[in-house]
């Protein structure tokens, strides 16, 4: 009996060692980034600090501030309107407000650059209505610039705030609002003085997610001519072939990332309250007439700007492209296949790594010693907070070190040196795994939390090893969570642009890089099909989120 106990403890430690190894792999790019940046001379540091960082940092901070304010206003306002008021189309808008999540930021910029071009359909229609014949007689302000970038990113990223804030509004007890109403507070006062302060943690989380997406954006910022830190990293590395300088700029970006995470934690500090009674959701106030139409117009605007207009434009352009004999080129089909296969490989690997991290924590909870497993889980999730450009630069040194070691081993067997990981699709898959590992580990951990520990105890009592217990008991129960996680990781991988641009092999295109190349050379009609394919695939997790929200709303409704 004593021998069985020792064997099970060793197996549990094996899972913990595997989790620690995964955490170290995720941590390696950060350490390598600091090492790469330290290779630069003092003159390089001073040159970057004097000529690159000031303007790029100024643009980045202004972009973050503008997008943050706009996303919070749009997300919080729309969440309150669809929760507190009942109007025609409310149920439709409750899930339609999530649709901009299906459109990556670089695709929105790509679409609006052509849509609002002086010779594009919008300005041409306005000139026809006003009786002008030429763009020289009348033209709208150019969308290129910081203001245009703020508006477009804000209308695409507000759903992060909308999701978290609406969930908070739906769980707030009606008794709190009724108490405020009995004290003479009107609907506006209830929002500002009761609902909004209680929703501050949810707003902080959603805003932090939106700002991290903004910081990592490269396509929209470059298309719109905004020189952010992310764009500076890319141009310094690719255009100037200065890896050390790019690493130093990336370190400056990490400071902003840490500041955003700190602000998010500060925004939801000490935000806990207890309710001993079962919360009764508030009943929406029914609106009629002009008030109902006004609210419907307000909540419809973000959907129209962030999803309907760019998606409709892409659909029309793709239809015209296919009908005029242009067809779909063989290169585009090849890019689509490359996208699918690397996304599938990254999804499988991410699920496996996430399962190891979450299962190691589950076993540690049974031993009542979760320090190491919990730390490994947290470290494994830092990749999502890193912009893709930062992660890509940090990976270069570890990939080179791995190739050097592998070639030394190969040469011992008489094999010629070669690039093993560097410049291969495997390096791209590794970057995807690090970037989106937190989605898998978090989703699987949440699924494991729903499984009672009594099942683990029963399985151990029957002599099952941790691996057998995972395979026979938990994996069948985790199928819904695994399916949802796989879908999210697959779609996020398909849409990822910065890391793909910097780590892809030679002559290897994905749908995202194909679209980026078309936009860079001004061939917007050629990229419309690729953009539409990305948007259609991106709709899948949005539909999943919408179904989850509707189910949650039905469960929260009074019976």
pLDDT digits (tens, 9 = 90+) for 39-57: 766 666 677 777 788 888 9
63 plus 21 within the same structural domain: no
What pLDDT band is residue 559 in, cutting at 50, 70 and 90?
A: very low
450 plus 475 within the same structural domain: yes
Domain end call among 299, 318, 340: 299
Q: Is residue 145 part of a domain?
A: yes
73 plus 120 within the same structural domain: yes
**Residue 340: pLDDT above 60?**
yes
Q: What pLDDT was estimated at residue 1?
A: 41
What pLDDT band is residue 176 in, cutting at 50, 70 and 90?
A: low
What pLDDT band is residue 6 in, cutting at 50, 70 and 90?
A: very low
pLDDT tens column, 482-506: 888 888 889 889 888 888 988 888 8
What pLDDT band is residue 77 in, cutting at 50, 70 and 90?
A: very high
Chain center to CA of 81: 25
54 plus 198 within the same structural domain: yes
Residue 396 neighbours by CB under 8 Å, 6+ apart: 32, 36, 243, 422
Q: Is residue 337 part of a domain?
A: no
Distances (CA, A) of 177 to 171, 172, 183, 189, 304: 12, 9, 10, 10, 32
378 plus 447 within the same structural domain: yes
Residue that wins the pLDDT comparison between 38 and 61: 61
| Residues 123/136, Cβ–Cβ less than 8 Å | no
Q: In terms of residues, how long is the chain? A: 559
Q: What percent of the chain has pLDDT over 90?
A: 21
Q: Is residue 122 part of a domain?
A: yes
**Mean of all residue pLDDT scores within the chain:** 82
**Residue 557: pLDDT above 50?**
no
367 plus 240 within the same structural domain: no
Distance CA 400, CA 422 (A): 7
Q: What pLDDT was estimated at residue 12?
A: 47
Q: Is residue 551 part of a domain?
A: no
Q: Is residue 484 part of a domain?
A: no
180 plus 63 within the same structural domain: yes
| Residues 322/529, Cβ–Cβ less than 8 Å | yes
Distance CA 169, CA 186 (A): 17
Task: Look at 123-127, 170-174, 195-199, 468-472 and tell me which has the smallest mean pLDDT.
Answer: 170-174
Distances (CA, A) of 246 to 5, 35, 240, 369: 52, 12, 9, 41
**Residue 9: pLDDT above 80?**
no
22 plus 51 within the same structural domain: no
Closest residue by Cα to residue 273 from 360, 203, 173: 173
SS3 85: strand
Q: What pLDDT was estimated at residue 153?
A: 95
Question: CB 531: neighbour CB atoms within 10 A?
Answer: 30
294 plus 419 within the same structural domain: no
* Model pTM score: 0.84
Q: What pLDDT was estimated at residue 175?
A: 59
Closest residue by Cα to residue 281 from 200, 197, 202, 166: 166
Residue 276 buriedness (CB in 10 A; 0-12 / 13-18 / 19+):
exposed
Domain end call among 479, 511, 534: 479
Q: Is residue 142 part of a domain?
A: yes
Mean pLDDT of 14-39: 89
Residue that wins the pLDDT comparison between 414 and 442: 442
pLDDT tens column, 423-482: 788 999 999 999 999 888 888 888 888 888 788 788 788 888 888 888 888 888 888 888
261 plus 396 within the same structural domain: no
What pLDDT band is residue 268 in, cutting at 50, 70 and 90?
A: low
Q: Is residue 525 part of a domain?
A: no
| Number of domains, the chain | 2
Mean pLDDT of 186-214: 80
Q: What pLDDT was estimated at residue 137?
A: 79
What pLDDT band is residue 159 in, cutting at 50, 70 and 90?
A: very high
What pLDDT band is residue 8 in, cutting at 50, 70 and 90?
A: very low
Q: What pLDDT was estimated at residue 169?
A: 79
Q: What pLDDT was estimated at residue 177?
A: 64
Ranges 109-118, 146-155, 183-192, most confident: 146-155
20 plus 60 within the same structural domain: no
- Owning domain of residue 93: 40-270+288-299
Q: What pLDDT was estimated at residue 277?
A: 46
pLDDT tens column, 288-309: 889 899 999 999 999 999 999 9
201 plus 76 within the same structural domain: yes
**Residue 554: pLDDT above 60?**
no
Q: What pLDDT was estimated at residue 434?
A: 92
Ranges 237-246, 341-350, 475-484, most confident: 341-350
Q: What percent of the chain has pLDDT over 70?
A: 86
Q: What pLDDT was estimated at residue 2?
A: 44
Task: Give the dihedral sign, CA 105/106/109/110.
Answer: negative
**The two three-digit tokens of residue 324, written as one number:** 């005029």
Q: Is residue 328 part of a domain?
A: no
Task: Look at 11-15, 85-89, 434-438 and tell me which has the smallest mean pLDDT.
Answer: 11-15
Residue that wins the pLDDT comparison between 282 and 480: 480
What pLDDT band is residue 133 in, cutting at 50, 70 and 90?
A: confident
The region, left, alpha or beta by phi > 0 then psi within -120 to 50, assigned to residue 134 is: beta
Distances (CA, A) of 234 to 28, 225, 241, 461: 21, 14, 10, 56
């Amino acid at each position: 009996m004593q021998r069985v106990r020792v064997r099970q403890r060793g197996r549990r430690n094996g899972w913990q060692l595997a989790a620690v190894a995964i955490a170290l792999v995720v941590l390696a790019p950060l350490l390598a980034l600091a090492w790469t940046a330290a290779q630069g001379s003092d003159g390089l540091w001073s040159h970057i600090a004097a000529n690159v960082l000031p303007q790029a940092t100024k643009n980045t901070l202004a972009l973050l501030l503008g997008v943050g304010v706009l996303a919070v206003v749009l997300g919080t306002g729309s969440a309150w309107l669809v929760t507190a008021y009942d109007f025609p189309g409310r149920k439709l808008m409750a899930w339609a407000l999530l649709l901009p999540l299906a459109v990556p930021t670089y695709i929105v910029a790509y679409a609006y650059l052509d849509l609002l071009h002086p010779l594009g359909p919008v300005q041409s229609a306005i000139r026809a209505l006003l009786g002008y014949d030429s763009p020289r007689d009348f033209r709208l302000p150019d969308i290129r610039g910081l203001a245009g970038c703020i508006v477009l990113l804000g209308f695409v990223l507000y759903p992060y705030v909308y999701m978290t804030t609406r969930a908070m509004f739906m769980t707030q007890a009606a008794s709190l609002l009724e108490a405020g109403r009995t004290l003479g507070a009107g609907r506006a006062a209830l929002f500002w003085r009761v609902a909004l302060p209680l929703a501050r943690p949810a707003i902080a989380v959603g805003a932090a997610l939106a700002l991290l997406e903004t910081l990592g954006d490269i396509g929209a910022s470059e298309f719109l001519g905004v020189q952010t830190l992310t764009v500076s990293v890319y141009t310094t590395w690719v255009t100037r072939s200065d890896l050390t300088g790019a690493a130093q700029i990336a370190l400056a970006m990490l400071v902003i990332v840490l500041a955003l995470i700190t602000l998010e934690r500060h925004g939801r500090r000490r935000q806990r309250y207890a309710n001993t009674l079962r919360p009764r959701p508030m009943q929406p106030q029914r609106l009629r007439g002009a008030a109902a139409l006004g609210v419907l117009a307000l909540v419809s605007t973000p959907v129209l700007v962030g999803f309907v207009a760019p998606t409709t434009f892409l659909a029309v352009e793709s239809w015209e492209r296919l009908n005029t004999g242009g067809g779909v080129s063989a290169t585009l089909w090849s890019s689509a296949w490359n996208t699918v296969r690397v996304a599938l490989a990254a999804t499988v690997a991410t699920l496996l790594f996430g399962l190891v991290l979450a299962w190691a924590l589950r076993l540690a909870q049974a031993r009542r010693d979760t320090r190491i497993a919990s730390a490994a889980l947290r470290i494994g999730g830092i990749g999502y907070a890193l912009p893709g450009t930062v992660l890509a630069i940090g990976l270069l040194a570890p990939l080179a070190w791995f190739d050097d070691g592998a070639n030394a081993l190969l040469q011992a067997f008489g094999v010629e040196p070669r690039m093993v990981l560097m410049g291969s699709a495997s390096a791209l898959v590794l970057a995807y795994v690090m970037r989106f590992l937190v989605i898998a580990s978090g989703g699987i951990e949440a699924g494991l939390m729903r499984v009672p520990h009594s099942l683990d105890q029963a399985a151990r009592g029957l002599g099952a090893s941790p691996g057998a217990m995972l395979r026979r008991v938990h994996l069948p129960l985790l199928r819904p969570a695994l399916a949802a996680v796989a879908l999210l990781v697959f779609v996020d991988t398909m849409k990822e642009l910065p890391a793909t641009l910097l780590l892809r092999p030679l002559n290897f295109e994905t749908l995202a890089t194909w679209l980026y190349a078309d936009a860079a050379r001004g061939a917007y009609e050629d990229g419309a099909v690729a953009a539409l394919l990305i948007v259609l695939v991106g709709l899948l997790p949005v539909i999943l989120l919408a179904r989850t929200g509707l189910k949650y709303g039905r469960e929260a409704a009074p019976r």
